[in-house]
Amino acid sequence: MLVYYVMKLVSKIFCLLPWSVGRAFGDVLGRIALIFVPEWRMQMAAANVQECLQVSQEEARKIAVQSVVKFGRMVIEVLRFPLLTSETIQNVVKTDGLEYLEEAYAKGKGALMCTGHFGNWELLGADVALHGFPMLSIARKQNNSAMDRFINEYRELVGQKVAYNTGREGVLAMGRYLKEKHLLGILFDQDTNDTGVTINLFGKEVITPSGPAVFSRTFGCPILPIFMHYDPDGSCRAKIYPPIYAEKTKDKDRDLYQVTEKLMAILEQEIRSNPPMWFWVHDRWKDGEARFASKK
């Protein structure tokens, strides 16, 4: 558990330092992180950027690098979670479209807050929870138990509850939370190796989890796409879209496909608007290792 206490100490230090210092350190940390990313992943990320966005090779590499470097800032932002309250969050994150969430939540059916590995999704969860909405965030259990304890403690510190994305207990927690008319936070942009829906992303087929569509169809709750951006001036901005509802017809597969297709279209739109915010080093199309790692 030494790692846990070290992280707590580092967090206290960055809570005392000015944000300008923390942000500068985050940039350095992100640059250091580049050293530990396998080169085949950077080559894959740059190739995917170039193929998806039709940019030059140089621009694609730059976007791929920026998408990694931003993780340094994300780490510092999480370390500063103890400073966040319902009053201070509005100075840290500007939230566009909050009225969509307020209106959807007022209908009393709960809501699904769906985002991707885009911007700082941890800060996104904190932003929603600190605006007073009861929220359950679905998370992947960390391999390191000390880090798992630390990140979950900090999620709860800003008002979130946490459930893991695997196992019967996690599924039951999700269903129970929606039945209680609360919010469920889901990352929907990666292939979780479960049965999903085959959808095009940038014209290439990917398997996408159908969880959001299934929950919406089952419970009648709205899906609100939500994404975190870093504005040009360095500030954070959360963008909430109008709600999407799944139909419940006799054709279940069609119902799930239509909602998932809408979500993926919004994800693609967000990525195009701010490419470095997405997690390009993830092997999203499941062909990167074969294309690049095998050449080593």
State mean pLDDT over 44-52: 97
Within a domain: 284: no
Phi first, then psi, for residue 240 (nearest 5°) are: -105, 130
Higher-pLDDT residue of 294, 133: 133
Q: Do residues 269 and 53 lie in contact, with contact meaning Cβ atoms separated by under 8 Å? A: no
HSE-CB at 142 with a 13 A cutoff on CA atoms is 12
> Do both 70 and 110 map to the same domain?
no
Within a domain: 288: no
Q: Which of 237, 273, 244 is nearest to 96 (CA)?
A: 237
pTM above 0.85, yes or no: yes
Within a domain: 175: yes
Above 80 in pLDDT, residue 194? no
> Do both 184 and 42 map to the same domain?
no
Above 90 in pLDDT, residue 131? yes
> Do both 216 and 266 map to the same domain?
yes
Q: Which of 83, 72, 101, 93 is nearest to 157 (CA)?
A: 83
pLDDT in tens, 137-147: 988 888 899 99
pLDDT in tens, 258-279: 999 999 999 999 999 999 999 9
Within a domain: 271: yes
> Do both 39 and 108 map to the same domain?
no
Above 70 in pLDDT, residue 170? no
| Structural domain for 120, as ranges | 86-278
Above 60 in pLDDT, residue 296? no
Above 70 in pLDDT, residue 11? yes
What is the DSSP annotation of 7-50? HHHHHHHHHHS-HHHHHHHHHHHHHHHHHHS-HHHHHHHHHHHH
Structure tokens given for 92:
């840290």
Above 80 in pLDDT, residue 168? no
